[in-house]
Amino acid sequence: MRIVVLVKHVPEPTAVWRFSDDLTLDRAGLDGRLSQLDEHAVEQAVRLAEEGGPTECTLTCLTMGPAPAADALRKALAMGGHQAVHVLDEALHGSDALATSLVLAKAVQRLRFDLVVCGMASTDAEMSVVPSMVADRLGVPQATNASALSTNGTSVTVRRETDSASEEVVVPLPAVVSVTDQSGEPRYPAFKAIMAARKKPVQAWSLADLGIEAAEVGLAAAGTVVHDLRPRPPRTAGTVVVDDGDAAVRLADYLAGARIL
């Protein structure tokens, strides 16, 4: 079975965001990491690969992004990926979700696949649309937001927790699955695994390798234009009282003043 796991290099959750003049996120100036939500995707993909046995299964970690995104691939390899592909091209700067899904889908096709595993969202843009877009471009079904998944080699079975119900969904392969942060703790790679990951193959692919024109991607090709971007006015801390036995009454007074009571 050929599994491809899609990963993204994102700013650290505590990063202070900065933007370039073209209103894109200044990724070069930020400390980054493999998205915490994608670690769940890698974990589930590695578990499936381990169950299938190393000879039967190839697990490829795929990312697109500037040079530092290679760090996310190394982490995914240390967690158990077999090989990695980094789509790297100047022309990708400023790509929107549509262009991102085009590039990832072309790369997945080039790799050939039975199952694509993604995280539930990136922790920077947080749109959650790329898994569905990649699935649509590949012409395959998707099962999103899986809290558990398993496969018999011809289909995947997924458990989903929606607002209204707990569901079990069966999807024939090939397919795209996204997993939630409820799917299980990602493993913490041991030193030996980190060292071994350095020797695993990482290929760099350009747009030309994927048969994509530079004009199809990047900021100029985006389907949306950002007019302006402003920092949210910070919330200021209000009144803080220390409970001396009267806090409940003071809190009730406050709620009455705010017309909640």
Residues 175 to 234 in contact with another protein, rule: CB under 8 A: 175, 180-182, 222-232
Find the binding residues for another protein in span 42-81 (CB under 8 A): none
Q: How far is the CB of 11 from another protein (least distance, A)?
A: 9
Contact between 123 and another protein (CB under 8 A)? yes
Phi and psi at residue 101, in whole multiples of 5°? Answer: -70, -35
String of contacts with another protein for each residue 21-40, x by CB under 8 A: ----x-----------x---
Q: How far is the CB of 87 from another protein (least distance, A)?
A: 18
Cβ closer to another protein: 132 or 150? 132
Dihedral (Cα; 192, 84, 113, 153), 10-degree rounding:
0
Find the binding residues for another protein in span 124-143 (CB under 8 A): 124-130, 132-133, 135-137, 139-143
- Which residue in 42, 118, 120, 149 binds another protein (CB under 8 A)? 120
Instruction: Give the separation between CA 74 and CA 200, rounded to whole angstroms.
Output: 9
Cβ closer to another protein: 56 or 246? 246
Q: How far is the CB of 229 from another protein (least distance, A)?
A: 5
Tokens at residue 163, please? 């607002």
- Which residue in 28, 67, 170, 204 binds another protein (CB under 8 A)? 170
Identify whether the C-beta of residue 144 lies closer than 8 Å to the C-beta of residue 116: no
Q: How far is the CB of 220 from another protein (least distance, A)?
A: 10
Dihedral (Cα; 133, 95, 59, 178), 10-degree rounding:
-40
- Which residue in 118, 149, 171, 210 binds another protein (CB under 8 A)? 171
Cβ closer to another protein: 55 or 239? 239
- 27 closest CA partner among 163, 125, 128, 173: 125
The footprint of another protein on this chain (CB under 8 A) covers a number of residues equal to 80
Tokens at residue 8, please? 């993204």
Tokens at residue 171, please? 């999807």
Tokens at residue 130, please? 């790329």
Find the binding residues for another protein in span 89-118 (CB under 8 A): 96-98, 101
98 to 54, 89, 107, 135, 136: CA distances (angstroms): 34, 17, 14, 12, 11
Cβ closer to another protein: 194 or 222? 222
Place of tokens 């899904």: 101
Instruction: Give the separation between CA 129 and CA 118, rounded to whole angstroms.
Output: 11
Q: How far is the CB of 53 from another protein (least distance, A)?
A: 27
Identify whether the C-beta of residue 214 lies closer than 8 Å to the C-beta of residue 114: no
- Which residue in 53, 154, 166, 215 binds another protein (CB under 8 A)? 166
